[in-house]
Structure 1
Amino acid sequence: MPYYNKVILVGRLTRDPETRMTTTGSAVTSFVLAVDRPTRSSDSQRVTDFIRIVAFNKLADFARLYLKKGQLVLIEGELRINKWQSRDGTNMTTPEIWARDIRFMEKKSVTPEEVVEEGIERTIEEPIVNPDEMFGLEDQTDSEDDDKPPF
């Protein structure tokens, strides 16, 4: 019987991503995504979930370079439940999403000051290169075993 584990979230980063390296030299970037739950009625108070996202290898480098606090992004990945034991011996579980794809949900706005400061030789109306296309992340396939952590 085939199994299916896919999660799609849209939310805002609560802080800049944090990157660390594994012992094998692979990048691991993590950040927290604030995702609003839909309300059932117009007078209901908004509820926000804070979900830990983890990206590996090239996607981790992409997140480190291009994601910033407050950005609205779409994350596609799979749910993983980490089981561990606290210092006092209590069994704990921590859910997180292992990202497979990250997409921007807002267009980057370029101010005239940024054009002058960065020496960009184009008009503001010209499209900005999508980092997904730059790194070829849209067609990313992992050659490693998906069931094993990459570190």
Structure 2
Amino acid sequence: MGISYNHVVLVGRLTRDPEIKFATSGTQIATFSLAVDRGKDDETDFVNVVAFGKTAEFIGNYMTKGRLVLVEGQLRIEKYQRAGEQKTATKVVANQVRFMETKKNAGNGELPDEEAFGKYEPGSTLRGLEMPETDEVPF
């Protein structure tokens, strides 16, 4: 197998408050959608994002609809079946999420100090996580 690299960095605004769930193992899972402007052509992409563990906890505690954030992670394309049809879903698995606005610019919400930013912990893995038993796609 050749060399490959899967790293995504996006800056955009949350389109809704994050949804928080727990896997059967107790791992916290946060899902949200991010509106990312394309730039020149005045179009916006809506990207589904999922985070696990401490990063998900951080997102659940501090992120709200409309917040400007930087999301760093990996692109995932998953295949699943619904009603007998093969479907695909594209999402970003977030390793790190950071605020992109100052406390003053954030408005009425409270932003945490720099040390509180959610970060992916080196050596942790997403494989083997027990997802909640549901027919829904996890975003």
**Would the alpha carbon gap of residues 22 and 129 (structure 1) be closer, same or farther in structure 2, given more than 3 Å must change?**
closer
Q: Which amino acid aligns with 1:134?
A: A
CA RMSD, 1 decimal: 2.2
Matched with 2:121 is 140
Query: Percent identity of the aligned residues?
Result: 44
> Do the aligned partners of 1:56 and 1:150 also contact (CA within 8 Å) in 2?
no
Q: In the aligned structure 1, how far is the partner of 2:119 from the partner of 2:81? A: 37
Matches within 5 A, 1:2-151: 2-39=3-40, 44=41, 46-87=42-83, 89-109=84-104, 129-130=112-113, 132-134=114-116, 137-138=118-119, 140-144=121-125, 146=126, 148-151=127-130
Shift of 1:108: 1.4
Task: List 4+ stretches of structure 1 deviating above 4 A.
Answer: none
Which runs of 5 or more structure 1 residues have no equivalent in the other structure? 119-127
**Partners of 2:29 and 2:56 within 8 A in 1:** yes
> Aligned equivalents of 2:35 and 2:93: distance in 1?
16
Number of residue pairs the alignment of both structures matches: 126
Question: Quick check: which has more Rg, 1 or 2?
Answer: 1
The one-letter amino acid of 2:11's match is V
The separation in 1 between residues aligned to 2:22 and 2:120, in whole angstroms, is 24
1:106-134 superposed Cα distances (whole Å, 9 cap, x missing partner): 01128xxx8xxx9xxxxxxxxx752x513
Q: Could you say which structure has the higher strand fraction?
A: 2
Larger fraction in helix: 1
Q: Which structure 2 residue ranges, 5 or more long, are not aligned? A: 131-139
Amino acid in the other structure paired with 1:143: S
Higher relative contact order (CA 8 A, sep 6+): 2
* Whole-Å separation in 2 of the counterparts to 1:129 and 1:29: 18
Contact 2:54 2:120 in 1 (8 A): no
